[in-house]
């Protein structure tokens, strides 16, 4: 479903107060729900960054073993 289709067929009635739960109870995908509000969704991989503190904790745990 395109953004234009959503504008013509609103998910919820205008002027009504709706909860987030009501949007996610619909059959629309998250990117379609966000398009209703004029925003998009970009999915990417998450990369954990190593910090000095984490490395110190890892070393301390390794020494305890």
For the chain, the domains span: 3-64
Q: For residue 6, what pLDDT is reported?
A: 47
Q: What is the mean pLDDT of each run of 10 residues along the chain (65 residues)?
A: 53 72 83 87 79 80 83
Is the pTM of the predicted complex or chain greater than 0.75? no
User: Which of 36, 42, 38, 16 shows the shortest CA–CA distance to 24?
Assistant: 36
Q: For residue 52, what pLDDT is reported?
A: 75
Q: For residue 33, what pLDDT is reported?
A: 84
Question: DSSP for 6-64?
Answer: HHHS-SS-TT----HHHHHTSS--HHHHHHHTT---------PPP-HHHHHHHHHHHHH
Q: For residue 64, what pLDDT is reported?
A: 84
């Amino acid at each position: 479903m395109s953004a234009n289709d959503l504008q013509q067929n609103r998910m919820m009635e205008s002027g009504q107060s709706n909860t987030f739960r009501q949007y996610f109870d619909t059959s629309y995908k998250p990117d379609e729900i966000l398009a209703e509000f004029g925003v998009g969704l970009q999915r990417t991989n998450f990369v954990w960054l190593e910090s000095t503190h984490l490395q110190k904790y890892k070393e301390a745990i390794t020494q305890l073993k």
